[in-house]
Amino acid sequence: MRVEEQIKELREKINYHSDRYYNQDSPEITDYEFDMMMRELKKLEKEHPELATEDSPTKHVGGTAKRTAGVLVAHNVPMLSLQDVFSKEEVCEFVEQMREQLDNPEFVVEYKIDGLSMALRYEQGNLALALTRGDGVNFGEDVTANAKVIGDVKKKLKDAPEYLEIRGEVYMKNEAFERVNERQELLGKKPFANPRNCAAGTLRQLDSSVTKERELSMFVFNIQQVRGMEFATHTEGYEFLKKQGIAVIDDYKVCRTAEEVWDAICAIGENRGNLAYDIDGAVVKINSYADREKLGSTSKVPRWAVAYKYPPEEKESKLLDIELSVGRTGRITPTAIFEPVRLCGTSVSRATLHNQDFIDELDIGVGDTIVVYKSGEIIPKVKEVKKEKRPADWKRFLIPDTCPVCGARTEREKDTADIKCTSPNCPAQLERHIINFVGRDAMDIKGFGTVYIEDLVRLGYIKDVADIFELKKYREELIEQGIIGKEKNTDKLLDTIEKAKQNDACKLLTGFGIPNVGKAAAKSIMKYFKSMERLEHATAEELTAVNDIGEISAQCIRAFFEDEKNQEMVERLKTLGVNMETKEAETIESALTGKTVVVTGTLPNLGRKEAAELIEKYGGKVSGSVSKKTDYVLAGENAGSKLDKANQLGITVISEEELYRMLNINM
């Protein structure tokens, strides 16, 4: 390949992965792989300066300013990235360059936190604004509302200068990250890939209550600008900030020589596995602010600091077993159990193997010698198999076609790599199933929180959804044990459960959690069959006669009602007085009658649920995805990919105001 083509290909790849990392919070490759691509591009551009261009990713800060959590705000001080170095030689070269240009400089070596940069501006001691890095030079996003619910962010300073701007890293502790992902699983949502992605997405949330719930943290690592007070050095600034109760980077070291700097970097490397949060390197920076001012910055990086990136630590181990666990969504996750090895200061003996596709790609089986690594992260990963060392009786591992917990049939979810247990009564996924059943889109039993469900399942009061409607039998016990709270709270929830028996049968069908049968499909099905009894005995052919019910959905419905445990559960629900029929909804003829509408974004006045109910009331059908069959897309602010697809397909996009006009409703 010619050099020009190499450079072009590298730039395209780097721009793509930079967008995935900075703007979508969904990276597809490791930091190390990205760094290596960037390093190769810099090398080629240095060797062929005639091919270097101003729009190259080596010349600008990663990321673009987005308008997600707030308006765009101009940077007072650029929030630049750092020059990366990867070896002791490069670290020593930086130190010597600084010593040549400055008079006996001091260096500060500190953790490089793996999170999202945020600047805080204080006026007369009060927090006036918080903004993200954005494009790093011109604009960032206003995230003040979210910053105020982060525990480490001080809203008022004790000894305040006239104006102070500080920059830090918003991150998520590993324990908090695990709690968030556990909740994502319970709610049937996609778990976050790592704490950095979760922190970045959370900081840009439109709802600050979600930000507060996810327990973000922040370390401050620089004073950007100050008026009414002076600091000679970075460490002097840190001491002032600490007195204000502001969390600054842990365990920073002041050094004078290249050897001292390297020793401090090595010490951080040895300790990184013991930290409660992720780091992705060590930062070496000049301590004196006057020296920093003298050195200045390029368009992309300050000349007075570098970031050392630790090489991936790899070790061989023997694979002893592959353990299967069933998550609360029914997904089966294989985990490698191997002889303990020490990585990044900790002993590890387990690593996820994700799914069958990953296992097939590695070509892995019990008894294999595997290579385990941590690429600047806490979570260990299996990199490869040493096939020349595999045993004679080796067999590639296959996830079985029966659930390891309940023995029910497993199946691969369409368009994913996930293999799931098909039984909604599987103990491993019972809590998730109950949460779905009582949720807003299903039976809508308000006040039936996750904590109550966890306790009721754990104590054996709920073994399937029918048990919910028998809880009143245990009223006295529930009150005595305080599971739901005092008498008033318990009675309130039991009354709500009793009223839910009268719900339309489409809500009950949604609550069953049958694969491929969501809220919209359940409505269409019950509108066609009218009663649960007719649906129970419907053939696959009859089911596919329902609009938007294909063969796969029909098979899922048949499998559900053919399951003996499900039959018993439905009979119990009937006996307990739960409504099994649907009423014909009264609709109003309008311009939307028979039309399919997709709702996306944040509407000025209507919530998503209210908009959907309004559309259905006027004869329209609400769909969750945009396709050629979509007639209209009702779009609000931050509409995203659904709006993009609608424009690509030439589908009519309407606003809330236009919707009212179509329905002849006066606003």
> Catalytic amino acids?
112
* Start-to-end Cα distance in the chain: 63
H-run or E-run covering 256:
none
Residue given tokens 């490698």 in the structure block: 336
Burial class (CB in 10 A: 0-12, 13-18, 19+), 405: middle
- Dihedral over alpha carbons 46, 48, 52, 56 (to 10 degrees): -70
Mode of pairing for the β-strands spanning 279-286 and 72-74: unpaired
Separation CA 239–CA 243 (nearest Å): 6
* 3-state SS class at 555: helix
Residue type, 536: E
CB 249 within 8 A of CB 276: no
DSSP character string of 534-557: HHHT--HHHHTTSTT--HHHHHHH
Q: What is the DSSP letter of 297?
A: B
d(CA 544, CA 550): 5
Are 405 and 417 spatial neighbours (Cβ–Cβ below 8 Å)? no
Beta strands 305-308 and 83-85: pairing type?
parallel
The pair of structure tokens assigned to 258 is: 């290249």
Calpha distance 372→385 (Å, rounded): 9
Between CA 470 and CA 476, with CA 473 as vertex, the angle to 5 degrees is 135
